[in-house]
Each structure stands twice: as C-alpha cells, then as structure tokens.
Amino acid sequence: MHVAHALSRSAEFDLVHNHLDWLPLAFSHHCQVPLVTTIHGFSGEAILPAYRDARSAYVSISDADRSPELDYCGTVHHGIDITQFVFSPRAGDQLIILGRIHPDKGTAAAIDIADLAARPLVIAGPIADQAFFDDLIAPRVDGHNVRYLGSVGPIQRSEILGDSAALLHPIGFDEPFGLSVVEAMATGTPVIAYNRGSMPEIIDHGVTGMLVTNVEEAVTAVPTAAALDRSSIRDVVERRFTAERMVEDYLAVYASLLR
C-alpha cells in the first residue's frame, strides 16, 4: 500500500527514489516521473529479470556490488552521521568485531586472529545464526580474552570502537559496503579486512587500515594497523563518508537524470 500510495502521487514530484529494492519495480511503468532505485543487494540471480525489465535508473552502493546485466547511472557510497561517533586519539589493546554473528561476517576467524595476535577481543552484534554461535563462538567466550556484548546502541558502539586498537572484518563473502568499517574509522580506529567485495573501495591500505587475505596475514597486520595515525583515519571519513557527502552525491544523480 505504501508503494501504491507513493506512485499514485508521483506526478507531484520531480522524481521518485526507491530504496525498497524489487517490489516497486513491478509497478515502475505506473510511475509518472523518472524513477531511480538504489540497489542495496540482490536476494539472488533469479531476481535480476525484475531489474532488467523495469523502467528505472540504478545506483549501486559500491562499484564491487554491480551486476554486469544492469546499467547504472552512478555509485553512491553510504554516509553516516559522523556526530554519533566520537574521535578517540588513543586506544587500548583490544580488537573488536562488530556486526551480525554469522559465518559470512567471519566471527570465528576474528577469534582466531585475536588469539594468535595475543590481543583481547570484543564481539558486538546480534546473533544471526544460532547454531554457528552455539557451536563455534559461545565455547570460546570467556569474558576476559573474548567478550560478547550482544547488540550495542549508538553511544556504546562509539565507545567500544574508539577504545579498540583495530576493527577486524574477516568477511566470508563479497561485502556490498560495510557500515561497521566506516563507523570504526569515524572514531579513528583502523580496520583489518579481508580483501573482498567493496573493501578496496572503502579502506585505503596503509592509511585507514590493512587489506589481507587470510588469518595469518591479519595477525601480521595487527601491529601495523594499530600504529596508523588515527587522526588521518578520521579525516578520511570526514571527506568521504559523511551523510552530507552522500546527499550531495544523490543530488548530482538526480540532476543528471532530470537533464
């Protein structure tokens, strides 16, 4: 009903921006002005015909997350409200992994990295795969070397990121973007990430973090990442990943479509 209401009023506006993925595309021919869709990820290849046949322009959230079967009018990286993240010029010894507890997010690998690097690890995020958590994560949570905080709110998230020497992001899939990466960098905390998906677009290797390919490389990268200049990391976020920059990028997309 929300989609129907929006499209019934489409003539009142210059264009309609769709963030609801495929569903509004089924009715794209009823939109009376240009339609632009930001693709926040595909549920699978079987959904691609809905995108190919729709009357919409497409924006990707990273160059890495593009399908070769579609044409795009631009890439707009996510932006964050940087005021929610307090810059921390100094951090402790701990490492952190922030996000869903799931094999895709590399939670078990993060524990291995922290263990081999002889650093304490903080795990924060909701459990998305209970069996994975019960079998591989919970038995290694001891409350000292490995702590699990559960889901964290904005204030606590900023604090624990800022207190960490580095964010671990040993992903097991091609990450479309990775908000936790940018959030860590906003506090000045560097990121050690597997070099997959959008990570080379988001992380400046040797400046805001380290791109690695396996556990062993991540362990080696810990002291290097922890020694990176935290103010420079924050500066990069202020230039590239603010909500204001995202708005400007979308306004440029709108202008190009309306021309």
Domains of the chain: 2-78+242-258 (no CATH), 82-240 (3.40.50.2000)
pLDDT in tens, 182-205: 999 999 999 999 999 999 999 999
Looking at residue 225, its pLDDT comes to 98
Beta strands in 195-234 (DSSP E): 209-212
Instruction: Using a pLDDT cut of 90, give the percent of the chain over it.
Output: 93
- Banded model confidence at residue 21, pLDDT cuts 50, 70, 90: confident
53, β-bridge pairs: none
Which among 9, 3, 38 has a CA at the least distance from the CA of 23? 3
Yes or no: say if 177 and 61 are a contact pair by the CB < 8 Å rule: yes
What's the one-letter identity of residue 31? Answer: C
3-state secondary structure of 228: coil
pLDDT in tens, 99-154: 999 999 999 999 999 999 999 999 999 999 999 999 999 999 999 999 999 999 98
Yes or no: say if 181 and 241 are a contact pair by the CB < 8 Å rule: no
Could you tell me which residues come within 8 angstroms of residue 68 by beta carbon, excluding any fewer than 6 positions away? none
Distance CA 232, CA 191 (A): 13
Looking at residue 43, its pLDDT comes to 76
Mean pLDDT, to the nearest integer, of 161-180? 96
Looking at residue 19, its pLDDT comes to 95
Q: State both tokens at 236.
A: 């990069």
80, β-bridge pairs: 242
Mean pLDDT, to the nearest integer, of 64-81? 95
Other CB atoms within a 10 A radius of the CB of residue 223 amount to: 12
Instruction: Look at the pTM and tell me if it is higher than 0.75.
Output: yes
Distance CA 42, CA 60 (A): 11
